[in-house]
Chain A
Amino acid sequence: MKAFPTQEIGSLPKFGWRTKPFRLMALTDDDLQVAREWGDRLQVDGRTDLYRLLSKRYSFSDEEKKTIVDFSLLYAIKMCETAGQGVAKEPGLDLVWSGEQARTEMYETPVSNIQGFEFVGRVRSFDNKYWRMASIRSAPKYKENYHLDELLFTQKHAERKLKVPVTDAITIMAWSDNNYYTGKWAKKAGLPPAKRSFSARREFTLELAKIIRRVIRELIEKGVEEVQIDIPAATQYQSEDDIKLVAESFNETTKGLDATFSVHSCFPPNTGYGILFPHLLEMKKCERFSLEYGNRDTFDRGLDAKSRVGFEDLKLFKEYGFKKELGVGVIHIHTDTLPSVEVVRDRVLYSAKVTDLPPENLYVNPDCGLRTRRPEIAQKMLDLVVGGAELARRKSG
């Protein structure tokens, strides 16, 4: 087994030539130039067909748009499989995906494909970043498998091992407007207000979990071996009942399924990931927790607690006797300011030190998906992941 294996978390940025045809915007000279530069750099197979297609600039047919998305998937696969080129002796991430290029976004794609949701408008997450909120207006029902085509294409073209990111029920519940279940539970007399709103959340979540289980089961039937359950909202509702529900929802989602499962979460409250313990460890089938830490760390080199302040929370895993795998987020993904590769190395080594996990059990990844960064920054971030892990490997012998 390789020490400090590397992985991405899911999304990669979309190029203008990928998004504009869907917004009915004409492609510019810059868009065509970017497609060529990146296509040549990544050595994407068949890229001249894309260049020819994009030169049309506007009025793409549905079939042509599908071809554009397919190329976008190819670019993303190549970005993952060549990450670290020129920086590391062994480039390429160990676990890859196609950058969620076929998805609108990790929330919007599932809710668009589950019956019962209605989009109600955009809500601000931070600064000038927003998500399109959907409101649940009736009990959710399975409509179709929203990841199947993406999987089949990626399986055909990726050379490395795949890990399919799937948004979990807690996150869909937490980012949606819970109109239907709030109304349903508002009519139940005699419950304290907080209990009523929790009951509405729980019922909504567990209904969604059944649908997501079906989506994943169909992916497994097509040969998927590893699934990353994305729970960025794991630390959103923080009561004891809600944290138990995160584990219950994961167990309900993975019930009866045979694959390797990991969990990704990020951006907890200022109290850190401690709020998830011990219930986090009740996720029976979870083999790896991939969490964000780089955001809270310093840019200083060093293996001391002060330099690596962002990684202090990792101690919790040791305290609770955790022996499985961890994915440590070593790059803050909401800034273009990057750490040096030596700092990334130190983040990896410090993580090994405080968790006492063997290096084979410690994956290295960015804090979260990279969709909000420009492609050149995202590429540098992936380079740092691969380069930093390699330096850590050398240092740890």
Chain B
Amino acid sequence: MTEYQVSLTGLHARNERTIQATQDWERSRINEVTLKESFDKDCESLVELQRHAGAEYITDGQITLAWQDLFRPISSGFEGLEPGPMVRWFNTNTFFYTPIVKGAISSDGKVLSRVIERRFVDHGSSLKIIIPDPLTFAELAEDRHYGSKEKLQLAYADAIRGELRTLSSLGVKYVQFSAPSLVYRLKQKPFSRSELGQLGEAVRSALKGVSLRSGFYPFFGDASRYLPELFDAIPTDDVGVDLTQTDDSSLSATNKGVIAGLIDSRTTYLEDVESLAARVEAVVDRTGTKTLTLAPSSDLRYIPRVSADEKLELLGRLRARVRRGGAPQKAKASSRRGAK
């Protein structure tokens, strides 16, 4: 019997009120306290929506000034790193500041705990934190110190380990390693088995002595070239696949949990629940997984908040649908905005 979960997998879109607040704050029309109130309310509404959708692990959507991009708290807060030039984030119209590795990477183990919304833990939520995986960090950072991607991955993993231990002690329950660099390979060759093995070792090192459930989620690309090895090579409890880029037929049996990136996070078009349910059934048939996490294909920050929330609600409806069981119905004709 498969357990179905719902989870967000990255930075979430800010709502219009928060957007306006950030602009007012930049123009000195409001102070930082008022700005923080907007962020707080925004996070709360997102947490509520996740609860409503049946999410087991809740994220704060990284809706804070600290998470301007996925690297920022790390590149700003870890010793040996600093934010550098602004470059495009994969195939999106969003940008991040390149982490510059100027010296040995270390942290006091409290950098991430300072930027998460701990109040949700205090109120009984199972909080999930989302961070870059070692490979994505090593691929996108500008290394002026280690001189080898393998060493850089391990150094990053060493520094992350202390952070994860602190987060675990504070009650955080889940860590997701976001890994777009693994599958976003266009002109470059796919990573070799040995490189996949190095990545697995770095992830293992980051998780050593850490009592969090863990997931590894490569998105923005086709994972089929790494399957089925990926599930064995990466020592996390769950491994994800971006199913808007990867054909279901490349999946095979696994004992791990599967994060199924079924819902296209790059468009407001709402997929048909019955068609999605049919794909869920196919994924379960192929993998035999005991835990299937229904997820968006990537962060839900590439469409406006209202649409991002609709996608989250769609995940909730999909979960209800697949838990109810029964053969998927033929897809209904889509409405102008997609099928509800």
Cβ–Cβ < 8 Å partners of A238 in chain B: 90-91, 186
Contact A175 B88 (CB under 8 A): no
25 contacts between A and B (CB under 8 A): A120-B268, A120-B303, A121-B303, A123-B301, A124-B19, A126-B94, A127-B68, A128-B23, A130-B19, A177-B268, A179-B338, A182-B269, A183-B338, A233-B93, A236-B92, A238-B186, A240-B186, A242-B91, A267-B87, A270-B88, A270-B98, A270-B139, A275-B186, A296-B85, A296-B87
Q: How far is the CA of A131 from the CA of B303 in the complex (A)?
A: 10
A122 within 8 A of B: yes
Q: CA–CA, A324 to B22, complex, Å?
A: 43
Question: B93: nearest residue on chain A (CB-CB)?
Answer: A175
B85:A237 contact, CB within 8 angstroms:
no
Beyond A133-B303, A270-B98, is A182–B87 a contact (Cβ under 8 Å)?
A: no
CB contact between B93 and one of A135, A183, A236, A239 (< 8 Å): that residue = A236
Is the pair B68, A268 in contact by a Cβ cutoff of 8 Å?
Answer: no
Instruction: Determine the chain B residues whose CB is within 8 A of the CB of A120 once the complex forms.
Output: 268, 303-304, 306-307
CB distance from A185 to the nearest CB of B (A): 10
Whether A240 lies near B187 (C-beta < 8 A) is yes
CA distance A268 to B98 in the complex (A): 12
- In the complex, whether B198 has a CB less than 8 A from a CB of chain A is no
Stretch at the interface among B152-160, B167-175, B230-238, B239-247: B239-247
User: A121-B16, A121-B304, A121-B305 are known contacts. Are A177 and B267 too (CB-CB below 8 A)?
Assistant: yes
Residue of A nearest to B246 (CB): A193
A240 to B246 alpha-carbon distance, docked (Å): 17
Contacts of B247 in A (CB 8 A): 192-193
Q: Chain B contacts of A233 at CB under 8 A?
A: 93
Contact, CB under 8 Å: A236 / B91: yes
Give per-residue flags for A105-146: 1 if the beta carbon is below 8 A from chain B beta carbons, else 0: 000000000000000111111111011010101000000000
Chain B nearest CB from A210 CB (Å) reads 23
Q: A124-B19, A183-B334, A267-B86 are in contact. List 16 more A-B contacts (CB 8 A).
A: A123-B302, A124-B94, A126-B86, A128-B68, A137-B336, A175-B93, A179-B268, A179-B338, A182-B269, A194-B245, A236-B92, A238-B91, A267-B87, A269-B87, A275-B187, A334-B86
Q: A197 touching B95 by the CB < 8 A rule?
A: no
Tell whether A174 is near chain B: CB-to-CB under 8 Å: yes
Residues in B whose Cβ lies below 8 Å from that of A178 = 267, 269
Q: Which of B140, B269, B307 has the most chain A CB atoms closer than 10 A to its own CB?
A: B269
* B331 to A, closest residue via Cβ: A187
User: In the docked arrangement, what's the CA distance between A194 and B22, Å?
Assistant: 35
Query: Contact: A123 with B95, CB < 8 Å?
Result: no
The contact of B267 among A130, A179, A187, A267, by CB within 8 Å, is A179
A355 proximity list for chain B (CB < 8 A): none
With both beta carbons as reference points, the residue of chain B lying nearest to A295 in the complex is identified as B85
Chain B residues with CB under 8 Å of A187's CB are 334
Chain A interface residues (CB < 8 Å from chain B): 120-128, 130-131, 133, 135, 137, 174-175, 177-179, 182-183, 186-187, 192-194, 197, 233, 235-240, 242, 267-270, 275, 295-296, 310, 334
Expressed in whole angstroms, the Cα–Cα distance for A193 and B13 within the complex equals: 24
B222 at interface, CB cutoff 8 A: yes
Q: Which residues of A contact B330 (CB under 8 A)?
A: none
B120 within 8 A of A: no
Cβ distance A333 to chain B, nearest Cβ, rounded Å: 10
- In the assembled complex, which residues on chain A have CB atoms less than 8 Å from the CB atom of B142? 270
**Min C-beta distance of A236 to chain B, whole Å:** 6
Within the complex, the shortest CB–CB distance from B264 to chain A, in Å, comes to: 7
Contacts of A310 in B (CB 8 A): 85
Are A269 and B187 in contact (CB-based, < 8 A)?
Answer: no
Asked if residues A193 and B302 are in contact (CB atoms below 8 Å), the reply is: no
Q: How far is the CA of A268 from the CA of B95 in the complex (A)?
A: 9
Give A123's nearest chain B residue, CB to CB.
Answer: B304
Q: Does B14 contact A (CB under 8 A)?
A: yes
Complex CA–CA separation, A177 to B271 (angstroms): 14
Q: Which residue of A lies closest to B264 (CB)?
A: A182
Which residues of B68-126 have CB atoms within 8 Å of chain A's CB atoms?
Answer: 68-69, 85-96, 98
Separation of A236 and B220 alpha carbons in the complex (Å): 12
- Kindly state the separation between the CA atoms of A126 and B302 in the bound complex, as whole angstroms: 11
Would you call B26 an interface residue if the criterion is a C-beta within 8 Å of the partner chain's C-beta atoms? yes
Chain A nearest Cβ from B19, distance in angstroms: 5
Beyond A120-B268, A121-B304, A123-B302, is A237–B243 a contact (Cβ under 8 Å)?
no
- Nearest residue (CB) in B for A200 is B267
Indicate whether B189 reaches chain A with its CB closer than 8 angstroms.
no
Interface 0/1 of B241-263, CB less than 8 Å to A: 00111110000000000000000
- A184 shortest CB reach to chain B, Å: 9
The 8 closest A-B pairs by CB, nearest first: A121-B304, A128-B22, A126-B95, A182-B269, A269-B88, A296-B85, A179-B269, A182-B267
Residue of A nearest to B68 (CB): A127
- Which A residues lie within 8 Å of B264 (CB)? 182, 197
Contact check, B187 vs A177: say whether CB atoms are below 8 A apart: no
From 1 to 60 in chain B, residues with beta carbon under 8 angstroms from any chain A beta carbon are 13-14, 16, 19, 22-23, 25-26
Asked if B337 CB lies within 8 Å of chain A CBs, one says yes
